[in-house]
Amino acid sequence: MATVDAVTPTQLFDPVDVDRQLEAGKVLPPAFYTDASIRRLEESLIFRHAWQMVCAELDVREPGQYVTTEIASVPVVVVRDKDRVLHAFVNICTHRANPIMDEAAGTCHHMRCGYHGWAFALDGRLTAVPKFAEGNLPPLETLGLRPLPIGTFAGIVFVALEPQETLGEQVGELAQLMTEAGYDFPFSNPQSGLEPIAEHTGDYSVDANWKVVAENFAECYHCGPTHPGTFAAALEVGKPDWALTQDGKFGLAAGLPLRKSMKPKFEPRTAEYAGSPYGFAQFFVWPNALILTGAIGDHLMRLDPTGPRSTRLAYWGYKRPGLPEDEVDALYKLLMYDGGAEDKVIMEGVQRGLESGFYEAGPTMAGPEAVVSAFQRQVWEALAPGLR
Ligand code: FES
Ligand SMILES: [Fe+2]
């Protein structure tokens, strides 16, 4: 079990006030976005437990294919073994703690540590130790890689360090909302022919708390003023179609139709992406993953807190055959790169505002920002046990 750092809530805010403020439709106190002890608490109470998006299943479809990542500061490797079983391991050598697989992704016959050359089979067993006879080692079966819980949702691989619920419980009724939103689950359909796009896979940093980033994805109230030439130029941003999961779970389905002027570019191929009535649709999986679809093609995204004031935004792009490639590419660039750059400026400005010491928790707009409030309530519910 992860330990929880002691935080004296009264130093930062009164928990009773937080309840009251959220109830009154106000945002979380600024300390939630700036304080290092809150950040550590989030790592213990949210990120060490939550199932985290690692890659699409198709990224590890062949034996030996692997993907590495980091979850709550723990290096992780996901790999498919020779019997096609998918595994997740702590990517740390059981000899003297060197991270074993250092590429982001690749294909291997076995996992060999670069420090002293110990080699592990794709199912995690330690199989080769240089100068073995001189080692006087404990039984090799006690020195295998440490396995981690792994699961898939919508054809996407999730790993958790110390889960407190199943992946199914974490996603709640999201699959149903996605179906109702017209999503056709291309990642779990081997016939969909999705292929990774190296050019649209990468990451960038935002100098803002991860919740500022998540909240920016949780409303389109800002789309007109912030994105007049990007989102608002290509999409009907006025009345986004969205729904939240029930039972206190935060999951979001949101969609924006293409503007009339944009439709001719995509309409001739509508059949190829039947089930995606949107130019841009996103599904937010608590606490920090996004599945994107629509005329922009299919993309995954994960928001990783790297500090109280910084977030790494990782994204993976996939091509869907049959879509007009150049048009998809242009739309994706317009929205995710140009629009993303506009968001980055805003998010970093918001972070400075939160840190100024001259901002008191403001009100949310009950309609257009209902999702922001739902997200903040979920954050508060997760952290409250460590703060009361
Ligand atoms: S630390 Fe991996 S072989 Fe020594
Ligand atoms: Fe935005």
- The per-residue pLDDT for range 315-344, each reduced to its tens digit, is 999 988 878 888 889 999 999 999 999 999
pLDDT score recorded for residue 11: 67
Task: Give yes or no: residues 123 and 80 share one domain.
Answer: yes
**Position 9 confidence tier, pLDDT thresholds 50, 70, 90:** very low
Task: Give yes or no: residues 144 and 175 share one domain.
Answer: no
The answer to whether residue 372 sits within a structural domain is yes
Tell me which of 357 and 248 has the higher pLDDT: 357
Tell me which of 352 and 236 has the higher pLDDT: 352
Residue 123: is its pLDDT beyond 80?
yes
How remote is the CA of residue 346 from the centroid of ligand 2, in Å? 8
What is the tens place of the pLDDT at every residue in 242-293? 888 766 677 787 888 888 888 777 765 545 544 467 889 999 999 999 999 9
pLDDT score recorded for residue 5: 52
Task: Give yes or no: residues 131 and 215 share one domain.
Answer: no
Task: Give yes or no: residues 124 and 209 share one domain.
Answer: no
Task: Give yes or no: residues 233 and 344 share one domain.
Answer: yes
The answer to whether residue 364 sits within a structural domain is yes
**Position 56 confidence tier, pLDDT thresholds 50, 70, 90:** very high
Tokens of 207: 């100098």
Point out the domain boundary residue: 123, 151, 179: 151
Which atom of ligand 1 is nearest the CA belonging to 97? 1
The answer to whether residue 6 sits within a structural domain is no
Nearest CA to ligand 1 atom 1: 96
pLDDT score recorded for residue 363: 95
Residue 359: is its pLDDT beyond 90?
yes
Residue 221: is its pLDDT beyond 70?
yes
Task: Give yes or no: residues 192 and 72 share one domain.
Answer: no
* Number of domains within the chain: 2
Instruction: Say if CB 171 and CB 153 are below 8 A apart.
Output: yes
The answer to whether residue 14 sits within a structural domain is no
Looking at the chain, the whole-number percentage of residues with pLDDT higher than 90 is: 74
Task: Give yes or no: residues 350 and 318 share one domain.
Answer: yes
Q: Rounded to an integer, what distance in angstroms lies between the CA atom of residue 280 and that of residue 258? A: 8
User: Which phi and psi angles does 50 have, rounded to 5°?
Assistant: -70, 145
CA distances from 98 to 38, 42, 144, 247 (A): 29, 26, 14, 42
Q: Is the CB of 116 under 6 A from ligand 1?
A: yes
Q: Is the CB of 130 under 6 A from ligand 1?
A: no
How remote is the CA of residue 100 from the centroid of ligand 1, in Å? 8
Q: Which ligand is nearest to the CA of 338?
A: 2
Tell me which of 379 and 248 has the higher pLDDT: 379
Strand pairing category for 298-307 and 289-293: antiparallel
Strand pairing category for 289-293 and 280-285: antiparallel
How remote is the CA of residue 79 from the centroid of ligand 2, in Å? 34
Q: Is the CB of 120 under 6 A from ligand 1?
A: no
pLDDT score recorded for residue 154: 97
* Residue to substitute in 95, 112, 137 for testing ligand 1 pocket (most ligand atoms within 8 angstroms of CB): 95
Residue 2: is its pLDDT beyond 50?
no
pLDDT score recorded for residue 6: 52
Q: Is the CB of 336 under 6 A from ligand 1?
A: no
Residue 119: is its pLDDT beyond 50?
yes
How remote is the CA of residue 162 from the centroid of ligand 1, in Å? 25
What is the tens place of the pLDDT at every residue in 158-172? 999 999 999 999 998
Instruction: Say if CB 181 and CB 253 are below 8 A apart.
Output: yes
Task: Give yes or no: residues 76 and 204 share one domain.
Answer: no
Instruction: Say if CB 172 and CB 249 are below 8 A apart.
Output: yes
Nearest CA to ligand 1 atom 3: 116
pLDDT score recorded for residue 262: 82
The answer to whether residue 238 sits within a structural domain is yes
Q: Is the CB of 98 under 6 A from ligand 1?
A: yes
Task: Give yes or no: residues 184 and 292 share one domain.
Answer: yes
pLDDT averaged over the chain? Answer: 91
The answer to whether residue 44 sits within a structural domain is no
The answer to whether residue 162 sits within a structural domain is no
The answer to whether residue 37 sits within a structural domain is no
Task: Give yes or no: residues 216 and 123 share one domain.
Answer: no
Amino acid, res. 67: V
How remote is the CA of residue 145 from the centroid of ligand 1, in Å? 12
Residue 319, SS3? strand
Task: Give yes or no: residues 182 and 282 share one domain.
Answer: yes
* Residue to substitute in 116, 120, 129 for testing ligand 1 pocket (most ligand atoms within 8 angstroms of CB): 116
CATH number at residue 224: 3.90.380.10
How remote is the CA of residue 94 from the centroid of ligand 1, in Å? 7
Which atom of ligand 1 is nearest the CA belonging to 129? 3
Vertex 39 angle, CA 33 and 43, to 5°:
140
Residue 87: is its pLDDT beyond 90?
yes
Angle separating helix axes 370-383 and 15-23, nearest 10 degrees: 160
**Position 90 confidence tier, pLDDT thresholds 50, 70, 90:** very high
pLDDT score recorded for residue 1: 44
CATH number at residue 117: 2.102.10.10
Nearest CA to ligand 1 atom 4: 116
Amino acid, res. 138: P
How remote is the CA of residue 101 from the centroid of ligand 1, in Å? 12
pLDDT score recorded for residue 275: 47
Structural domain boundaries enclosing 95: 52-151
Task: Give yes or no: residues 247 and 306 share one domain.
Answer: yes
Tokens of 294: 């629509």
Tell me which of 10 and 312 has the higher pLDDT: 312
65-71: strand order across its sheet: 105-107, 65-71, 74-80, 86-90, 147-148
